[in-house]
Amino acid sequence: MSPSRSPWSKRSLTAQAMGHVDPITKAIVPPIHVTTTYIRDEDNAYSSGFVYGRPDNATVREAEEVLAMLEEAEAGALLFSSGMAAATAVFQALDPGDHIVASKVMYWALRSWLTTEAVRWGLKVDFVETDNLDALQQAVKPGETKLVWIETPSNPLWTITDIAAAAAIAHAAGARLAVDSTTASPYHTRPLTLGADIVMHAATKVLNGHSDVVAGVLAGAKADAFWARVASVRKMQGAILGPFEAYLLMRGMRTLHVRAAAQARSALDLAQRFSGHPKVARVLYPGLPQHPGHDIAARQMENGFGYMLSIQVSDGEAAAIRTAARVGLWKRATSLGGVESLIEHRASIEGPGTPCPPDLLRLSTGIEDVEDLYRDLDTALRG
């Protein structure tokens, strides 16, 4: 039975990894298929559907099926060896000379790639504040713009772009809309149902949730020629995720709904409490009514507003860095979405040209006791 006709919810299907049972052993946890090659039939065909490990793998397919179900992706999902591999595959499927409009505030490594390697590929890239729909409308060039790439909520300022409105603008110009929905995850937002053509996740983050897998995924709304080109990029460049990593990702996703719900509750609690803190100048979190994108987030996000927030420290950059060095329970490390809470001074990581304020600390809320998290950061802020 296809997921669309299943009587069970996405939560139940994810928890049971689509309910697959190994046909030979009857195991409820599917085996890890590590083979790199497959036997041909006597007529020289491959009736199993598998030929070689670089373009395909049974364990990878099983994880992709869960992701396609979560995103309601008609074209299916493609797993990559990292979020960057997934994201860049979309741009590499374009033609030299194609114009791209991308969010000004976005994952810094991808923004850096777009300003360097993408230009060397012959792509033309303009960055705009995509939460400003007028600016987005003015940036697209009908007939020339082929891709609009937005990240929402955007890292690390957590600005919100209206996905449905951005899709309408992109499509009117003859372009596709791709959405980096890493921090939302399909638990909070399903961009394809709002009009997006492609959704990307750094599956390293909350999809896996345990900080032990590097992975990326693309899910497509339509199995068209462009989607086939993206799949070809993965195949020809050998960017597929390994089977053991796919197994770990599948294991992590089984608890996605439980983890994401708990993390979102704690993030909202922390955002509300630090909003009135004497050492915090500003809290950036779309779940707060005073956030500029709150109304749009409330419209396009479900089950809360995610696990990521940022605070701007009242006494400036030096105080922010000292705060990050004083915490005990929070871990001073990069990445996000794991069960452990992380704190990072982003401007130091991103360097010159970053849109990130120097007094900002990015917080990835885990599943620890929220009182412990608050007390630890409160003590660090007060010095």
Residues marked as catalytic = 54, 107, 180, 205
Closest by CA to 64, choosing from 259, 245, 306, 302, is 245
Give the pairing of strands 331-332 and 308-313: unpaired
Q: How far is CA 151 from CA 158, 301, 308, in A?
A: 9, 14, 14
In contact, 237 and 80? CB cutoff 8 Å: no
DSSP state string for 123-160 = -EEEEE-TTSHHHHHHH--TTTEEEEEEESSPTTT---
Residue 79 structure tokens? 């797993």
In contact, 175 and 139? CB cutoff 8 Å: no
Q: How far apart are the first and last CA of the chain?
A: 58
Closest by CA to 159, choosing from 308, 266, 45, 35, is 308
